[in-house]
Amino acid sequence: MSNVKNYTEQGGDKTVIGGTLEIVAGGQVVGLFTPAAFQADSTATTIAGLVTDLNSLLAKLKAAGLMEPTDG
């Protein structure tokens, strides 16, 4: 019986990381999530404008799947 922390199960469909996964310079992890759409820096000068900018950011995070679309 092996006691390694990181291993790939037979068949290669599942890799378990029980230790540290280090991505070195130039390395990439793909397929984990969709990046959120670009959100420009806020230039709001009123609270209402800032609320609009914040709600735009929240909508983009939800659309990218980085935030649940509803509570619960």
- Rounded Cα gap, residues 53 and 4, in angstroms: 48
**Residue 72 pLDDT class (50, 70, 90 cuts):** confident
The pTM score is 0.60
Of 14-18, 21-25, 44-48, which one has max mean pLDDT?
44-48
Contacts of 54 (CB under 8 A, 6+ apart): 42
